[in-house]
Amino acid sequence: MKKKSLFTIFMILTAVSMILAACGTGGDSTTGEGGKVKLIGGTEASFAPFEYLDDKGNIVGFDVEIVQAISEEMGFDYEIQNVGWDPIFSKIQTGEIDFGAAGITITEKRKETYDFTEPYYEATQLIIVRDDNTDIKSVEDLKDKKVAVQNASTSHVAAQKILGETSQNILAYENQPSAYQQVINGNVDAAIGDNTVVMEYLKSNPDAPIKTIEDPSFEKEYYGLMVKKGNKEALELLNEGLKKLKESGKLAEITGQEIDF
């Protein structure tokens, strides 16, 4: 009996260790309180309302609320670090973080390197110009203009489709508010940005001298949480929790958007 008990304990400890190693980034960051699995997430906290810093410097927003709700449903601990947009991708690749939560659009190109959860939000792009601009009314009017975008984002890809992949008229910045500021300053003719983020920016900055232009040629986009390709354990935890949030209506409560996909 003693040998059997010791063998059983050994097998349990081995299984738990394998799960933690698969889900976490290594070292102390793989476990939370009570030995629970802990996932480390990365974000870029200037993408309101999905992630931004409150008055106390805390990361808040839709994505943070979604991850918190998923963790409560699935019983794991988490931490979200404000690492910046480009580092999210590299840190997932190196294993420094387990997932990205930053309004990341699911694209076929990104799926070559990363795995995504099911979508949790639908978005599209908008054109941003100064409110006294009468020259730009659609995507067609951007072809010989200077356009600001967030680097390596879907707005960047959209601009490349319009102006050409190597166009010198595309100016890329670390985040979307920086791109909008270039329009306000008159350094560029227009910017392209995610609709919900643009509208939140205008809500928070009602005196900003800019306006938005819709164009039906912009495709619908779907946001997902992103993990390293092959990280099935983390992906399954996030996906299962996300599924429960959709079924309960909690996801729609957080984002204000009814999910029909």
What are 257's two structure tokens? Answer: 């958007």
pLDDT of res. 256: 95
Q: State whether 16 and 113 are in the same domain.
A: yes
For 80-102, write each residue's pLDDT tens digit. 999 999 999 999 999 999 999 99
Residue 41 CB partners (closer than 8 Å, separation 6+): 67, 78, 79, 80, 81, 97, 98, 99, 100, 101
Q: State whether 12 and 139 are in the same domain.
A: no
Q: Are the beta carbons of 40 and 25 closer than 8 angstroms?
A: yes
Among positive and negative, which fits the CA dihedral 211, 217, 220, 225? negative
The CATH number linked to 189 is 3.40.190.10
Which residue type does 248 have? S
Q: Give the global pTM.
A: 0.85
State phi, psi for 52 to the nearest 5 degrees. -165, 170
Q: Inform me whether the pLDDT recorded for 54 exceeds 60.
A: yes
pLDDT band of residue 260 (cuts 50, 70, 90) is confident
What are 40's two structure tokens? Answer: 């480390």
For 133-188, write each residue's pLDDT tens digit. 999 999 999 999 999 999 999 999 999 999 999 999 999 999 999 999 999 999 99
First to last CA, the chain: 53
Q: State whether 213 and 90 are in the same domain.
A: no
For 157-168, write each residue's pLDDT tens digit. 999 999 999 999
Q: State whether 34 and 153 are in the same domain.
A: no
